Chain A
Amino acid sequence: MLSIRIAAILLIGLAGASAPARAQSAWTDRGFVNVSGFFQPSSSFSNTVQPTDFAEPSVVDTTYKTGSVPGFEAEGGARLWRNLAIGVGVSWFSKDTAGAVSAQVPHPFFFNKPRAVSGDANLSRDETAVHLEALWMVPLAIRWQLALSGGPSWFSVHQDVVSDVAITQTYPYDSATFASATTVHRSASKAGFNAGADVTFLLRPRVGLGFGVMFSHASVPLDDTLTVDAGGAHVGGGLRVRF
């Protein structure tokens, strides 16, 4: 929610700043290419699975914490009509994330006598998104350009998911200790949306630097019990080419 609010404030601010530019001139470039690095703020989600261990369901709770993620994004587009352009972008990030696992593991001999264990799991996640964008390009000043964009996105998520825990136990098995998490690799895709704003400062007539914010989102079901949020707000910057 915080990242969404930041994006909204930026859009409002940039919209205000563009008002004089609209009066100045139309966007005349034929197209653009943006290459950026970005930073996506941390996010987390949790999941509970109930694998059968010792003839009884275990309860395995995992909190997945994705720290601030650096990613890569490239996009390009062409002017369609006046300041309106159409573009396509690809963003990608990959990160090993920490999963905090706590589990109630059944006793091997008795029902309803679970042993509590907890530990951390190393989990990888990578996310690729393809964004189709309609852009409204606003020249702000001689060297400044603002691009407001939005459109559908297609997300592909690859996530390690904790499916069970491995424990160490010794007779009489009334307690156990966490040994490791058993994980499965899940992949899924889902359509979503994107919206963003990007400000470019042209160092030369056709080359500049830019920075922007983007919010994208899709709820991607990884399996029957786990749906994750893909996308989110991210800020980034990089090379801007106009032609």
Chain B
Amino acid sequence: MSTRFSLLVRLGAASVLLISAATAQAQGRSTTLAVSRSVGDLRSADQAVDAMLRDRTLVVRDVQRDTLLPDRVHERLDQYVRGVRIVGGDVTRQTAPDGTVSVYGTLHTDVSLNLTPALSGEAARGAIARAAGGEFSGSSPELVVLPLSDGYHLAYLGQAFTGVELMNVYVDANSGVSLQQYSDFVTEIGHGKGTYGDDKKVSAKPFSGTFIADDPLRPAALTTYDMKGNLARTVSALNRLTALATSDVASASAAASNDWSDGAVVDAHVYAGWYYDFLYKRFGRHGLDNRDLRMPMLTHPVRIQDIGTASASVIGTYYLNAFFCSTCLTDGRGAMVFGEGAPRGTYYSNVDVKPFSAALDVVSHELTHGVTANSARLNGFQYSEAGALNEAFSDMFGISTSFFYQVPGSGPLQASYLLGKDLTVPAGAFARSMSNPASTGDPDHYLLRFVGGDPHYNSTIASHAFYLAIEGGTNRTSGQTVQGVGAANREQIEKSFFRALTTLMPSSSTFATTRVTTIQAARDLYGAGSAAERAITQAWDAVGVQERTAPTATILPNPNSPAATACGTSPSRPQWVIGVTASAGTANLRVAQWVFDFYDHTGAIQEHDVLSAAQFAQFFNACGPGSANILAQTDACSAICINLSGDTSGAAQITFTATDDAGRSVVFATPRTTLLAK
């Protein structure tokens, strides 16, 4: 294969998993459960779950009554192996009076791993701090089993504060090597500022001769804080070192008045209340955790006048950003932080970035992260698709909240499918489109996803499906048309997706899991064959998401033009950079061989390269540690530079041969992908 293709170290700007060959890993098997009364062997899955509950390898994390179907109950169960939790090994089970309705999740069996860590908890704290480049934060690290694509790792999970962000860090419990880390700040990348001068009602509480932004009318404690530009105090509060005080709560403009003129405070406080109301009115849900979890909103974390001297990370986190942190503040129950924005001329010369609380869909987006954190979780698994789905659901219900309260339109304070439209003047300068993702540079089809990439980027595949299921239309990539339920019936799609998120989806969900659970939810609510079920099924088809029951492989993104610059040592030009993804189905795979076929411009075979398992492990390390294994429902991916020995057009195809858990040989291949010169 020598001169035909070469490995690129990273695929774009993806956050790659860090793993050392020195880490200990073990084998096991994962089983994906996606069964319901109409699909799969529900009885045996249900019995398996019961058996695991009896021997305490499954432990109930949460039980909630269904807010939409009163006779249903939803359980969330975490898997343990000899008392150690398996990350992502969780199951959701829906039951009705006449028995189980559905079971979704991933279970791991035959995990052969020594569960006695070489590192003490104290040593793990240091390893976690070093891995993140910050200080350890919170209580003792948790010993967990972490499934990665090369097998199972005994790991410590803990948090460290970098000074800007709170990081969740997995380190190997024997070597201390970092296995994975991700920010606990679920962020919305954007840019915004200010209010639009619209009248809003502020639910405030009298306190010490004035009024403070502490909502006395809603069941959940909803409090908006004014951090007065004190970044150090903001960071200390987020890092659980400093408790927020009543003096931090935003107050009315003048003593003894209940008039509020600080737009950032007003918007944060009011929109958070509206979002709480939206959850209740639309879904019957009581707040972020369905138990009226308190909702602290932090505004003015920095001062505008400091933007010129702020570091890039501070600007990216506290000025041009909003985020939800699920474990922040001293009680560890989470907080929302809204960036200060950047008035025109302070950072961008031609864009006025408003405070990030200025847009209802953005506030609702961040708060939906709170719902997700208290239900399907979906966070921190960027090697899978859960991170993108987390963002997608936040977009869906951010937009849904806007349509619940605002009239449709493209102007300020109007509802549209352009998330973040109101953050900037001109409108939508940094927005994300759900109706036409390509218009904002985002993918509208699963084939265009960026494996291991920015979750915000990949999110539009799912959020576009949500859009199509409501409004209908034709997907620009697949050309498939969806018969939506219509805007007047948008509630059906919103409820189906919300039900899937909050009750059916496990933390390790993929796009495929989301497909089956949203369809299941529509079936639960509106019946088999309903318009909602049809629309959702068509929408997932249109964006190219199918049930991941069998292995698949793709060449991404569409490599119809060669790379602008040479990417390998071969003198042959042109060259193309292609992203290759091999995805397992419901079973773990061990790749034995892969074959790279090159075709010239006439379609004749030009070269046939047979490659080994070791070479697969060498190349496929862009969205997980390089390994010949692909765990069920996960991807292995690579960025590869290829040429056609000087031919300016042709095609390429890769065929993989693997064995599954049962020892069966499995063959799957990418489509033959056309390569054209510029």
Contacts and interface: CB of A to CB of B under 8 A. Distances in A.
Interface of A: 54-56, 107-111, 171-173
B611 interface: no
Contacts of A54: 201
A171 B217 contact: yes
A172 B201 contact: no
B301 interface: no
Interface string B255-281: 000100000000000100110010011
**Which of B199, B201, B258, B277 gathers the greatest number of chain A CB atoms within 10 Å?**
B201
20 contacts: A55-B201, A55-B258, A56-B201, A107-B201, A108-B201, A108-B217, A109-B201, A109-B217, A109-B270, A109-B273, A109-B274, A110-B201, A111-B199, A111-B201, A171-B217, A171-B218, A171-B219, A172-B280, A172-B281, A173-B217
A146 B277 CA distance: 74
A72 B199 CA distance: 55
A56 B199 CA distance: 11
Contacts, number: 26
Contacts of B274: 109
Contacts of A109: 201, 203, 217, 270, 273-274, 277
Contacts of A56: 201
Q: What are the nearest 8 A-B pairs in CB distance?
A: A55-B201, A109-B201, A172-B277, A108-B217, A171-B219, A172-B280, A111-B199, A172-B281
A93 to B, nearest CB: 44
Contacts of A108: 201, 203, 217
Contacts of A172: 277, 280-281
B585 to A, nearest CB: 45
Contacts of B258: 55
Interface residues of B, number: 13
Contacts of B201: 54-56, 107-111
A60 to B, nearest CB: 20
Contacts of A173: 217
B277 to A, nearest CB: 6
Contacts of A111: 199, 201
B463 to A, nearest CB: 27
A172 B199 CA distance: 20
A172 B258 CA distance: 22
A196 B280 CA distance: 67
A109 B201 CA distance: 5
A108 B274 CA distance: 12
A110 B273 CA distance: 11
Nearest to A112: B199
A54 B280 CA distance: 21
Nearest to B259: A55
A20 to B, nearest CB: 77
Interface in B187-211: 199, 201, 203
A110 B198 CA distance: 12
A54 B201 CA distance: 8
A54 to B, nearest CB: 7
A61 B270 CA distance: 31
Nearest to A54: B201
Contacts of A171: 217-219, 280
A55 B203 CA distance: 10
Contacts of B199: 111
Interface in B59-106: none
Interface string B271-298: 0011001001100000000000000000
A173 to B, nearest CB: 7
A55 B217 CA distance: 14
A36 B274 CA distance: 65
Nearest to B273: A109
Interface in B363-406: none
Contacts of B203: 108-109
B285 to A, nearest CB: 12
B275 to A, nearest CB: 12
A106 to B, nearest CB: 8
A128 B422 CA distance: 64
Contacts of B217: 108-109, 171, 173
Nearest to B280: A172
A5 B201 CA distance: 54
